[in-house]
């Protein structure tokens, strides 16, 4: 028995050693973006889909988010009371700088990684940031109300109460059909947490609103995912996944926001819904899957303008991502590879 255990231990240590080597080799594919040296990870955490977490791990994640909602704020942005609000307010403050531009994907990757790090360092969470694999809900059913992500105990609570005629605005669309709900959520761990940042840019004391929209599931099914993973350049991948208002119809990024509705379709204050992080983590997973199909090229492929308005500048790997006082500036170069510091995570699938 002891011998078997010792062999197992030796094998585990050996396997960890081996995977370090393999990763060092992979990073070496990338000579002029210099990740190796200072960017090696001590540990790579594994991000899992929400329903693949154990009940205990779900409870630990929700507990850590509630911890963020009880910690004092670090920024001085309008409306903030807690650390959770800080992230929402940073997104409000930077909305125009980080959407429909080259830094859309890198900035959201960084935002989630800083959020994950705070859950771990300041709230004792030991797992990784979970993601919401849209296809698990959208492929088989016409309605998402039964999704485990909306479980009142082991999830984030359900739809808002019915507000007849609730109409959402997202991007250039003045009215999107198909919403249900539209009022305050009434169950789950976040029904008692009023937001103070948003809606939009105006700090207001308000409940978390949801408005499920089953029509949006058309945009987040497997065929759409397979289609965007075939895009040959980052430029096309970025536009074809971020969607409106750059594209005239919705894409996967829009689809997840609209499917949940309410605060989630507010382009400024959507991180007020804790599900924002599961949705955007899945978008990050999509980008990293796309990158992994041709790492030599795609770990360096970045493009797009840096602003909405002229004079236009093309983004480069040296462009610095900011997070107010929540984290130091990092150049895009440093977050291109999720398995290098400061990111240090991977996806379970
Ligand atoms: C939360 O916001 C709602 C309006 O959205 C309001 O009716 C309610 O009184 C607020 N609750 C608290 C405790 O401030
Ligand atoms: C949406 O609005 C932006 C900014 O006003 C504009 O540049 C873009 O062409 C519009 N897109 C569509 C699809 O109407
Ligand atoms: C910006 O990038 C586009 C597309 O890659 C290219 O056509 C254009 O010449 C670049 N502009 C500048 C100023 O480098
Ligand atoms: Cu955003």
Best residue among 245, 247, 249 to mutate for probing ligand 2's pocket (most ligand atoms within 8 Å of CB) is: 245
Tell me, yes or no, whether 336 lies in a domain: yes
Ligand nearest to the CA of 81: 1
Q: Would you say residue 75 has pLDDT above 90?
A: yes
Atom of ligand 2 nearest to the CA of 247: 13
Nearest CA to ligand 2 atom 5: 172
Contacts of 267 (CB under 8 A, 6+ apart): 95, 99, 170, 171
Q: Parallel, antiparallel, or unpaired: how do β-strands 173-176 and 330-331 relate?
A: unpaired
Share of the chain above pLDDT 90, in %: 81
CB neighbourhood size of 192 (10 A): 11
Q: Would you say residue 6 has pLDDT above 50?
A: no
Tell me, yes or no, whether 222 lies in a domain: yes
Q: Is 175 left (phi over 0), alpha (psi -120 to 50) or beta?
A: beta
Best residue among 96, 99, 172, 251 to mutate for probing ligand 2's pocket (most ligand atoms within 8 Å of CB) is: 172
Distance CA 20, CA 24 (A): 6
Q: How far is the CA of 90 from the centre of ligand 1 (A)?
A: 23
The answer to whether the CB of 281 falls within 8 A of the CB of 53 is: no
Q: How far is CA 136 from CA 52, 144, 243, 253, 310, in A?
A: 12, 10, 21, 16, 41
Q: Would you say residue 159 has pLDDT above 60?
A: yes
pLDDT tens digits, residue range 193-252? Answer: 999 999 999 999 999 999 999 999 999 999 999 999 999 999 999 999 999 988 988 999
Q: Would you say residue 257 has pLDDT above 50?
A: yes
More confident residue, 133 or 17: 133
Q: How far is the CA of 176 from the centre of ligand 3 (A)?
A: 35
How does residue 164 score in pLDDT terms, banded at 50, 70 and 90?
confident
Backbone phi, psi, residue 278, to 5°: -75, -35
pLDDT tens digits, residue range 273-299? Answer: 999 999 999 999 999 999 999 999 999
Ligand nearest to the CA of 92: 4
Report residues whose beta carbon is within 6 angstroms of any ligand 3 atom. Answer: 303, 314
Nearest CA to ligand 3 atom 11: 314
- pLDDT reported for residue 220: 96
What mean pLDDT comes out for the span 51-61? 98
CATH number of the domain at 225, please. 1.10.1280.10
- pLDDT reported for residue 336: 98
Domain count, the chain: 1
**Nearest partner of 118 among 337, 323, 333, judged by Cα:** 323
How does residue 9 score in pLDDT terms, banded at 50, 70 and 90?
very low
- pLDDT reported for residue 290: 98
Sign of the C-alpha dihedral computed for residues 227, 159, 47 and 83 taken in this order: positive
Tell me, yes or no, whether 32 lies in a domain: no
Q: How far is the CA of 3 from the centre of ligand 4 (A)?
A: 53
Distance CA 80, CA 72 (A): 9
Distance CA 279, CA 275 (A): 6
Nearest CA to ligand 3 atom 9: 314
How does residue 175 score in pLDDT terms, banded at 50, 70 and 90?
confident
What mean pLDDT comes out for the span 324-339? 98
Share of the chain above pLDDT 70, in %: 87
Which residues, in sequence order, are bridge partners of residue 49?
A: 131
**Residue 304 structural domain:** 2-27+43-347
What mean pLDDT comes out for the span 17-40? 45
Tell me, yes or no, whether 218 lies in a domain: yes
Q: How far is CA 198 from CA 17, 86, 134, 151, in A?
A: 47, 12, 26, 25
Q: Would you say residue 329 has pLDDT above 60?
A: yes
- pLDDT reported for residue 172: 59
Copy the structure tokens of residue 310: 């002229």
Tell me, yes or no, whether 292 lies in a domain: yes
- pLDDT reported for residue 20: 38
Tell me, yes or no, whether 342 lies in a domain: yes
Mean pLDDT of all residues belonging to the chain: 89
Ligand nearest to the CA of 309: 2
Distance CA 309, CA 109 (A): 24
Tell me, yes or no, whether 185 lies in a domain: yes
pLDDT tens digits, residue range 102-136? Answer: 999 999 999 999 999 999 999 999 999 999 999 99
Q: How far is the CA of 319 from the centre of ligand 3 (A)?
A: 16
- pLDDT reported for residue 145: 84
The answer to whether the CB of 289 falls within 8 A of the CB of 302 is: no
Tell me, yes or no, whether 145 lies in a domain: yes
- Residue whose entry in the numeric block shows the structure tokens 């594919």: 29
Q: Would you say residue 29 has pLDDT above 90?
A: no
Distance CA 114, CA 277 (A): 11
């Amino acid at each position: 028995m002891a011998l078997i255990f010792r062999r197992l231990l030796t094998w585990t240590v050996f396997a960890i050693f081996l995977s370090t080597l393999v990763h060092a080799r992979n990073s070496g594919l990338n000579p002029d973006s210099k990740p190796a040296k200072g960017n090696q990870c001590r540990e790579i955490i594994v991000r899992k889909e929400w329903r693949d977490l154990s009940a205990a791990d779900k409870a630990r994640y929700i507990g850590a988010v509630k911890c963020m909602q009880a910690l004092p704020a670090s920024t001085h942005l309008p409306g903030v009371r807690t650390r959770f609000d800080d992230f929402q307010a940073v997104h409000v403050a930077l909305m125009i700088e980080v959407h429909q531009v080259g830094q859309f994907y890198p900035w959201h990757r960084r935002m989630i990684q800083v959020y994950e790090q705070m859950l771990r360092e300041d709230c004792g969470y030991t797992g990784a940031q979970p993601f919401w694999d849209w296809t698990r809900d959208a492929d088989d059913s016409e309605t998402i109300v039964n999704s485990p992500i909306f479980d009142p105990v082991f999830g984030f609570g359900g739809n808002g109460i019915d507000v007849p005629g609730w109409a959402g605005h997202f991007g250039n669309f003045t009215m999107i059909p198909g919403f249900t709900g539209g009022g305050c959520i009434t169950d789950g761990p976040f029904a008692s947490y009023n937001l103070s940042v948003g809606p939009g840019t105006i700090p207001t004391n308000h409940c978390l609103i949801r408005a499920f929209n089953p029509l949006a599931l058309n945009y987040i099914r497997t065929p759409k995912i397979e289609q965007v993973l075939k895009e040959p350049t980052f430029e096309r991948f970025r536009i074809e996944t971020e969607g409106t208002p750059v594209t005239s119809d919705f894409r996967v990024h829009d689809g997840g926001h609209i499917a949940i509705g309410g605060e989630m379709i507010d382009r400024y204050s959507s991180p007020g819904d804790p599900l924002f992080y599961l949705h955007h983590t899945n978008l990050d997973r999509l980008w990293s899957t796309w990158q992994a199909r041709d790492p030599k090229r795609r770990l360096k492929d970045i493009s797009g303008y840096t602003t909405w308005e002229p004079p236009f500048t093309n983004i480069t790997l040296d462009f610095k991502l900011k997070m107010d006082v929540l984290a130091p500036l990092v150049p895009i170069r440093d977050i291109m590879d999720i398995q290098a510091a400061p990111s240090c995570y991977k996806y379970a699938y």
